[in-house]
């Protein structure tokens, strides 16, 4: 038994040219209006006519067995680790979900850190040729109190052949200079947040008694001068959206974009955990506003990223997309069963309280833990969090966006649906997909 795939998007472009997208395979085809209508109606009639044959080869017609369709997807289940030496931070950012949450802000004990490193070593992909991925996160990981722990983590990572990402507000980079240079070969990214020109950044990212913009921009400058891979992250909401173009201009004036590796990553301030943050922009609003506001020069846009847009990235991979994302296709290719590492339970966040979390927005909340690493590694099989494949969400099974959206953010679903982590989180994805398709079609098929 065959049928039209549910993973089809059809759009009329002109009277004689419609486009069809297979969101499972990434195929994009120009079709006749008749075929377009039939695809829209999911109707192949009593027999497959010759007209349908090309579409058969492109995966628009499938056997009626969704499990079989998804089974061909490779298992990407490697575990990635995040170590939080502390959940405290020296900044008081206005929108920070950790600041707004009621969790205890605590440092990790050295004994707890050693157990975290044991857990990490046990799960390392030794001898498989795969790089282990470790993120240093917080709170703020680069504080004078935590520097000894960071050094210990990096020394263990060196033995495990890891790629290390450091997520920092930049204020501690100067004290960590020697450490960062010593372990430079491990570091694949240092992410330093800058939310706008000085007055805007300092108003949002408050360093009591200090100049957080000066510290963050000085840290970026130092990384660039020492060939360390650095990304400036701009957490964006309604309160700084209008200054994004000025921020890009400021970076241009400093010559930062002359470094091929440097990028600015815009990310929407989120509230997936439901802390009541003000001024949020939807992904649609952020993408369309940035697209309008930023210079369109392709050489500059190659340095601009949208992160962590887990919906956009796979679309970028399959179809090529706005705002420089097309440069970064290698890591997201293929339909995906899981929205994020938390949904796949492949993200292990090792927190100071000895518990393991899957989602960053849950760190410190005991009922959201997926396991513990004290006194030894133990993953809970029946907790609140479970694997959440898109094929396991009733509402998503037949949704045309399923292979790209993968059911959305579980935390968002939980917050907005009374703790139902297993529910769908559509947000504004259908609308956003329409917008992306318009941009892609303009660029890929200019003659239409
Ligand atoms: S569930 Fe996934 S996408 Fe949602 S906040 Fe957590 S890590 Fe991010
Ligand atoms: S979350 Fe919504 S948009 Fe995403 S796949 Fe499920 S039903 Fe579709």
Evaluate whether residue 64 is within a structural domain. Answer: yes
Closest residue (by CA) to atom 4 of ligand 1?
409
Which atom belonging to ligand 2 lies closest to the Cα atom of 395?
A: 7
How far away, in angstroms, is 442 Cα from ligand 2 center? 25
Structural domain harbouring 29:
2-72
220, 275, 269: which is closest to 241 by C-alpha? 269
User: CA angle at residue 153 from 133 to 137, to 5 degrees?
Assistant: 65
In this structure, what are the phi and psi dihedrals at residue 235, rounded to the nearest 5 degrees?
Answer: -80, 120
- Is the C-beta atom of 340 inside 6 A of ligand 1? yes
Query: From start to end of 99-247, where are the E strands?
Result: 132-136, 162-168, 187-193, 205-206, 230-236
How far away, in angstroms, is 187 Cα from ligand 2 center? 35
Evaluate whether residue 248 is within a structural domain. Answer: no
What residues contact 322, with CB distance under 8 A and at least 6 apart? 287, 291, 436, 439, 440
Count how many domains the chain has. 1
Ligand at minimal distance from the CA of 368 is 1
Which atom belonging to ligand 1 lies closest to the Cα atom of 270?
A: 5
User: CA angle at residue 428 from 423 to 431, to 5 degrees?
Assistant: 130
What confidence tens digit (pLDDT) does each residue in 366-375 have? 889 999 999 9
339, 389, 382, 333: which is closest to 359 by C-alpha? 339
Evaluate whether residue 36 is within a structural domain. Answer: yes
How far away, in angstroms, is 405 Cα from ligand 2 center? 6
Tokens at 312, concatenated? 């956009």
Evaluate whether residue 103 is within a structural domain. Answer: no
Distance separating the N- and C-terminal Cα atoms of the chain: 35
pLDDT in tens, the chain (448 residues): 788 999 999 998 777 788 898 988 888 888 888 889 989 998 877 777 777 788 888 889 888 888 888 876 555 557 899 999 999 999 999 998 877 676 778 999 999 999 999 999 988 776 666 778 999 998 999 999 999 999 999 999 999 889 999 999 999 999 999 999 999 999 999 999 999 999 999 999 999 999 999 999 999 999 999 999 999 999 999 999 999 999 999 999 999 999 998 999 999 998 887 777 889 998 888 888 888 898 888 888 888 887 766 676 666 655 655 444 444 444 445 688 899 999 999 999 999 999 999 999 889 888 899 999 999 999 998 888 989 999 999 999 999 999 989 999 999 998 887 778 999 999 888 988 888 888 777 766 666 5
Pocket test for ligand 1, best of 235, 343, 346, 386 (most atoms within 8 A of CB): 343
pTM of full prediction above 0.85: yes
Ligand at minimal distance from the CA of 135 is 1
How would you label 31-58 residue by residue, b for 16+ Cβ within 10 Å and e otherwise?
beeebbebbbeeebeeeeeeebeebeeb
- Is the C-beta atom of 396 inside 6 A of ligand 2? yes
Which atom belonging to ligand 2 lies closest to the Cα atom of 424?
A: 1
Closest residue (by CA) to atom 3 of ligand 1?
409
Pocket test for ligand 2, best of 315, 340, 404, 424 (most atoms within 8 A of CB): 424
- Is the C-beta atom of 268 inside 6 A of ligand 1? no
Asked if 197 and 174 count as a contact pair (C-beta separation under 8 A), the reply is no
Evaluate whether residue 35 is within a structural domain. Answer: yes
Evaluate whether residue 96 is within a structural domain. Answer: no
How far away, in angstroms, is 237 Cα from ligand 1 center? 18
How far away, in angstroms, is 365 Cα from ligand 1 center? 14
Which atom belonging to ligand 1 lies closest to the Cα atom of 409?
A: 4
Task: Report d(CA 400, CA 24) in Å as an integer.
Answer: 9
Task: Report d(CA 309, CA 328) in Å as an integer.
Answer: 13
How far away, in angstroms, is 97 Cα from ligand 1 center? 13
Evaluate whether residue 145 is within a structural domain. Answer: no
Evaluate whether residue 405 is within a structural domain. Answer: no
How would you label 6-27 residue by residue, b for 16+ Cβ within 10 Å and e otherwise?
bbbbbeebeeeebbbbbbbbbb
Closest residue (by CA) to atom 3 of ligand 2?
426
- Is the C-beta atom of 342 inside 6 A of ligand 1? yes
How far away, in angstroms, is 274 Cα from ligand 2 center? 20
- Is the C-beta atom of 408 inside 6 A of ligand 2? yes
């Amino acid at each position: 038994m065959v049928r039209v795939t549910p993973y089809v998007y059809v759009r009329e472009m002109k009277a004689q040219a419609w486009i069809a997208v297979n969101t499972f395979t990434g195929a994009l085809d120009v079709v006749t209006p008749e075929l377009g209508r039939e695809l829209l109606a999911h109707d192949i009639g009593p027999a497959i006519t010759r007209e349908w044959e090309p579409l058969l080869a492109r995966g628009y017609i499938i056997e009626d067995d969704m499990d079989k369709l998804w089974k061909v997807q490779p298992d990407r289940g490697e575990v990635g680790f995040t170590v939080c030496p502390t959940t405290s931070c020296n900044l008081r950012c206005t929108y920070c979900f950790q600041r707004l949450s009621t969790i205890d802000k605590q440092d990790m004990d050295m004994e707890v850190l050693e157990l975290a490193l044991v857990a990490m070593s046990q799960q390392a992909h030794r001898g498989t040729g795969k790089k282990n991925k470790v993120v240093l996160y917080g709170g703020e990981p680069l504080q004078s109190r935590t520097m000894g722990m960071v050094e210990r983590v990096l020394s263990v990572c060196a033995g495990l052949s890891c790629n290390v990402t450091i997520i920092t507000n930049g204020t501690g980079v100067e004290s960590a200079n020697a450490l960062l240079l010593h372990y430079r070969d491990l570091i694949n990214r240092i992410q330093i947040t800058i939310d706008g020109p000085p007055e805007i950044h300092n108003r949002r990212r408050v360093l009591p008694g200090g100049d957080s913009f000066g510290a963050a921009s000085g840290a970026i400058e130092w990384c660039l001068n020492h060939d360390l891979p650095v990304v400036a992250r701009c957490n964006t909401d309604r309160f700084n959206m209008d200054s994004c173009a000025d921020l890009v201009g400021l970076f241009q004036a400093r010559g930062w974009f002359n470094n091929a590796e440097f990028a600015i990553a815009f990310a929407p301030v989120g509230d997936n955990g439901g802390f009541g943050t003000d001024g949020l922009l939807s992904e649609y609003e952020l993408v369309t506003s940035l697209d309008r506001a930023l210079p369109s020069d392709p050489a500059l846009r190659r340095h601009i990223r949208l992160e962590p847009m887990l919906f956009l990235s796979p679309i970028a991979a399959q179809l090529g997309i706005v705002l420089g994302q097309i440069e970064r296709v290698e890591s997201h290719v293929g339909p995906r069963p899981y929205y994020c590492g938390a949904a796949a339970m492949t993200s292990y966040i090792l927190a100071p309280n000895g518990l393991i979390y899957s989602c960053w927005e849950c760190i410190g909340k005991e009922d959201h833990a997926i396991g513990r690493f004290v006194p030894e590694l133990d993953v809970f099989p029946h907790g609140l969090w479970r694997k959440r494949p898109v094929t396991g969400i009733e509402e998503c099974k037949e949704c045309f966006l399923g292979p790209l959206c993968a059911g959305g953010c579980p935390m968002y679903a939980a917050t907005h649906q009374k703790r139902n982590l297993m529910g769908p989180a559509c947000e504004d994805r259908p609308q956003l997909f329409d917008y992306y398709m318009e941009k892609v079609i303009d660029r890929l098929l200019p003659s239409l």
